[in-house]
Amino acid sequence: MKLEATTVDIGTSRPLVLLNTIDAAELGAHPIDRVRIEHAGQTTTGIVKRTDELVEAGTVGMTEPLHHVRGTVDVTLAGAPQSVRYVRKKLDDIELEAHELETIVRDIHENRLSDVELSAYVSAVYTNGLSLEETKHLTEAMTDVGKQLSWGHPVVADKHSIGGVAGNCVTPIIVSVVTAAGLTMPKTSSRAVTSPAGTADVMEVFCDVEFSIDEIESIVTETNGCLVWGGGVDLSPVDDEIIRAENPLSVDPAGQLIASVLSKKRSAGSTHVVIDIPYGEGAKVESLVAARELADDFKRVGTHLEVDVTCAITHGTDPIGRGVGPTLEARDVLAVLEGDGPESLRLKSVRLADMLLEHCGVDASATDILESGRALERFTRIVAAQGGDPVVESDDLEPGAESTTIRADRAGVATRVDNRQLCDLARRAGAPLDSRAGLVIHRRVTDSIETGDPLYTIHAETPAKLAEAERLAERLEPVRVRSTADALVERR
């Protein structure tokens, strides 16, 4: 069918082709079918979206990835890519071969899968899991389709936390300590998947996080490190597409998690990596046994990729910092670097930094580097190199002005602080998209509480989102308060 190509902007990164219902019916094209588009001696493929209004009969609308297509084009039906068969195979809980995973990854990278098909892949992995061999092959495939950095150093440090714990923003502190000790640590981070703030979201409070590879190399040359968004430099770019599909479902299956983390580390040129695996009630990993199994799989896949991986299995039943959300976590980070801040955040940062220094063969004390002010000085250098204000102080970082404090309706003891519920509340308040939204946590497990004591404060940027969070708070109990007698029974 001969049609005239016209550009349309409907805010999508997918290669959608808008067909008028009349033309689609004549062609026999249904929603999410593929069509082959021949133009100027070239052939491309698009995913069908039918419409009565956005394009007229006789024309075909090209979304942003296909804006290069112009003039009269020949549109014919095309079959689904081979990867759709492999996704269906995984839905049937059949183990995939290396070439099948490579095909899925390549088709995701080249935008050949529709949103529905990509969601089906995520659902298949979440429901049926990935074997260790599948995880190895997937990690290699995700690494190979993107760019890869090389630093020319025998030791390049890195760290990652699998998340699931509120206020767990230790990474900027660790990078500051480790680079101040002389190691190279080009930290590339993802944005939030299921949490109210990823490291990239927190760092964006201070400075830019999106840079070209040449710019990153310049920053690292100047400061020994960086804290940037990995998706901005095409490192394992398929990971960002998969995260986009995981976000609405708030899922992060173990095999995909390992492939996501280690493909980024391999692409970033990291040689020595510490993985933080928090476990406990309300964390992503709820049992010590599951945490150990995940750690073993991280190490096995790391060995396969020639990346030296060690894992820290940490308690994840309590929030780490006081703040939850980009600005509130940024405030905690800077306060720790200034010599104050939440003690739990400082202790965990020091422990992981010491572990990474030892793993890289450096004889230095994270506590000494932090207390001497060298870590703060290095952090401000990194912020300045990334276009931020190096003289900002923790008190300058203000959360959203719309706020409410939830108070205890009884006296007793805090027997549980639920990370998942806290994260749900912070997201409902607007985090991470609203950088100043989130929570401040006032109580920890075992704290004694009187009636009327503040438990946590919700911050939002708009009254509507604060009201949404308040309605959710009425149904949840993120800080559980029990009488002293009931608390003793609960512990037993």
What value does the mean pLDDT take over residues 56-72?
92
- Is the CATH code 2.40.40.20 the one for domain 2-78? yes
How does DSSP classify residue 156?
B
Give the pLDDT confidence score for residue 490 in this predicted structure: 56
Q: What is the mean pLDDT of the chain?
A: 93
How does DSSP classify residue 382?
H
Q: How many angstroms from the chain centroid is the CA of residue 205?
A: 16
| Helix H or strand E encompassing 59 | strand 59-62
Question: Quick check: 51 pLDDT over 60?
Answer: yes
Q: What percent of the chain has pLDDT over 90?
A: 78
Give the pLDDT confidence score for residue 486 in this predicted structure: 62
For the entire predicted model, the pTM comes to 0.86
Q: Is 137 helix (H, G, I), strand (E, B) or coil?
A: helix
Question: Quick check: 37 pLDDT over 70?
Answer: yes
Can you tell me the distance from the alpha carbon of 425 to that of 442, in angstroms, rounded to the nearest whole number?
Answer: 15
Among the listed ranges 73-77, 182-186, 480-484, which one has the minimum average pLDDT value?
480-484
Q: How confident is the model at residue 485 (pLDDT cuts 50, 70, 90)?
A: low
Check whether the bond before 15 is cis (ω within 30° of 0): no
Distances (CA, A) of 419 to 38, 51, 213, 230, 331: 52, 44, 35, 26, 19
Q: Which residues contact 346 (CB under 8 A, 6 or more apart)?
A: 173, 336, 370
Active site residue 252: yes
Selecting among 252, 297, 354, 434, the annotated active-site residue is 252
| Helix H or strand E encompassing 358 | helix 343-359
Q: Which residues contact 68 (CB under 8 A, 6 or more apart)?
A: none
Among the listed ranges 269-283, 353-367, 399-413, which one has the minimum average pLDDT value?
269-283
Give the pLDDT confidence score for residue 191 in this predicted structure: 79
Residue intervals in the chain for CATH 2.40.40.20: 2-78
Give the pLDDT confidence score for residue 434 in this predicted structure: 96
Q: Domain 82-129, what architecture? A: Up-down Bundle (1.20)
- Is the CATH code 3.40.50.300 the one for domain 402-491? no
Question: Quick check: 223 pLDDT over 60?
Answer: yes
HEC string of 310-343 equals EEEEEECCCCCCCEECHHHHHHHHHHHHCCCCCH
Report which of 89, 153, 158, 73 is spatially closest to residue 121, judged by C-alpha positions: 89
Q: How confident is the model at residue 317 (pLDDT cuts 50, 70, 90)?
A: confident
Placement of tokens 């799989």 in the chain: 297
Placement of tokens 């970033």 in the chain: 268
Q: What percent of the chain has pLDDT over 70?
A: 98
Could you please state the CATH topology (level 3) that the domain comprising 157-231+259-395 is classified under: Pyrimidine Nucleoside Phosphorylase; Chain A, domain 2 (3.40.1030)
Residues 238-273 pLDDT 10s: 988 898 888 777 788 999 999 999 998 999 999 999
Question: Quick check: 401 pLDDT over 60?
Answer: yes
Question: Quick check: 400 pLDDT over 60?
Answer: yes
Burial class (CB in 10 A: 0-12, 13-18, 19+), 397: buried
Amino acid symbol at 477: E
Can you tell me the distance from the alpha carbon of 60 to that of 73, in angstroms, rounded to the nearest whole number?
Answer: 9
Q: Which residue has the higher pLDDT, 68 or 400?
A: 400
Question: Quick check: 102 pLDDT over 90?
Answer: yes
What value does the mean pLDDT take over residues 297-313?
96
Q: How confident is the model at residue 5 (pLDDT cuts 50, 70, 90)?
A: very high
Q: Which residues pair with 441 in a beta bridge?
A: 456
What value does the mean pLDDT take over residues 178-205?
90
Question: Quick check: 231 pLDDT over 90?
Answer: no
Question: Quick check: 343 pLDDT over 90?
Answer: yes
Q: How confident is the model at residue 392 (pLDDT cuts 50, 70, 90)?
A: very high
Residue intervals in the chain for CATH 1.20.970.10: 82-129
What value does the mean pLDDT take over residues 296-325?
94
Give the pLDDT confidence score for residue 448 in this predicted structure: 95
Give the pLDDT confidence score for residue 374 in this predicted structure: 98
Q: E strands along 255-299, which residues?
A: 272-279
Question: Quick check: 489 pLDDT over 60?
Answer: no
| Helix H or strand E encompassing 86 | helix 82-91
What value does the mean pLDDT take over residues 131-149?
94
Give the pLDDT confidence score for residue 487 in this predicted structure: 59
What value does the mean pLDDT take over residues 478-482?
94
What value does the mean pLDDT take over residues 88-102?
97
| Helix H or strand E encompassing 18 | strand 16-20
Can you tell me the distance from the alpha carbon of 43 to that of 145, in angstroms, rounded to the nearest whole number?
Answer: 22
What value does the mean pLDDT take over residues 231-235?
78
